[in-house]
Structure 1
Amino acid sequence: MPLTFTLDPAITPDLRDGILDLWTAVSDAGGAVGFVPPVTRQEVRPELVRYLVQMVEGRTRLLVGHDETGEVAATAFLTRNTHRLMTHWVWLYTVMVHPRHQGRGYGRDLLAAAADAARRMEGVQAIRLTCRGGHGLERFYASCGYKEVGRVPDAIRVAPGDDRDEVFMLLPLG
């Protein structure tokens, strides 16, 4: 059953908690979303609060996917570039699908919904994102139309002696 996507949902305590639960589950499953397992909701909370503040400021938009039971199953944050010469593209951050839903095509659905949302944003012509090397994520994003446009070797240290590349990807919306 497909996810139901909502752009800019009202932030309720249930939604906030659902995002925290999702982010924790994705991180604990080894997902490359800013943490290294194990992680707690209390560790994730400040990062979510940072996004919520950006949403209030009008710089970031939340795309959330709910499953058939109404639980948060996927999220992504679209953030406007604040540099006046780069307002024609947005960043896509913290792209997550709950581990229990992986393998069902929901990641592709989330990226398609994010692209649709970005196309409706005034003046936006492309989406940029970064991903952590070593997970095969760049192949997944490439299969969804993104092109690798840069790479910083060993930019992400997940543990002593375990450095990963930061991979920059671009999706033109034209």
Structure 2
Amino acid sequence: MHASTATSVTEPAAVEVLIDPPVTAGLVEDLTRLWTKVTNAGGSVGFVAPVTEETVRPHTVSILSRVIDGSDSLVALTEGGSVVAWCVLSSNDSPPRQNWRNVRHVQVDPDCQGSGIGGRLLQSVEAVARGVLNLEALSLKVRTGTGAEDFYRRHGFVEVGRLPGAVKVSDTDYRDDIIMWRRLR
């Protein structure tokens, strides 16, 4: 889905689901701000705390460039106009792997933890994967030591592999990268 065909759906509790919204400077700043906040609150989203917005911004821009060109899809939840959760459905470059995508950069505002926003985000991702992208499955990776794998299990993902010690959090702290899979059909 290309950014020019952005859609939105209003959900209960004033949460709006945005699918491939127009990429603006404001969106870059909102996603960067949230990514920095999630990381500094201990989230496992590609960085190790502490991190600054200046460090995160180029990565946000890089991710959004693939949304702009239609390779990947951005799913974001807003509440009162502010992004409270987002992730990217990242396409595979290999033609035989077009039936599934990687769920990457799953982030929920730490102030919203426990409110159901994360579950809503995954429900929205599934709706986009099934209804818009016509996918058969989703994959994601999660680092051990965060408890996130339990959250994904509750939402239908199963562990299908593990890369031992693949994530270097510090010179003395290596974590496993868990590969999880969810069939949609």
* Counterpart code for 2:148: L
- TM-score (norm: length of structure 2): 0.90
Counterparts of residues 35-74 of structure 1 (less than 5 Å) = 35-67=47-79, 69-74=80-85
**Structure 2 spans left out of the alignment, 5+ residues:** 1-12
> 1:2·1:106 contact (CA, 8 Å) conserved in 2?
no
Identity of aligned residues (%): 36
From the superposition, tell whether residues 2 and 130 of structure 1 become closer, same or farther in structure 2 (CA, over 3 Å). farther
> 2:74·2:89 contact (CA, 8 Å) conserved in 1?
yes
> 2:166·2:176 contact (CA, 8 Å) conserved in 1?
yes
* Counterpart code for 2:111: R
Cα separation, 2, equivalents of 1:155 and 1:15: 31
- TM-score (norm: length of structure 1): 0.95
- C-alpha deviation, 1:162, in angstroms: 0.4
- C-alpha deviation, 1:52, in angstroms: 1.4
- Aligned partner of 2:86 in structure 1 is 75
- Aligned partner of 2:102 in structure 1 is 91
Q: Does 1:165 align with 2:176?
A: yes
Deviates more, 1:153-162 or 1:80-89: 80-89
RMSD after superposition: 1.1
- Aligned partner of 1:114 in structure 2 is 125
> 2:72·2:91 contact (CA, 8 Å) conserved in 1?
yes
**Structure 1 spans left out of the alignment, 5+ residues:** none
Counterparts of residues 16-27 of structure 1 (less than 5 Å) = 16-27=28-39
Deviations 1:20-76 (A, max 9, x none): 110000000010000111111111011111111111221111111101x21110001
Cα separation, 2, equivalents of 1:97 and 1:122: 23
SS at match of 2:97: coil
* Counterpart code for 1:157: K
Structure with greater helix share of residues = 2
Q: Does 1:148 align with 2:148?
A: no
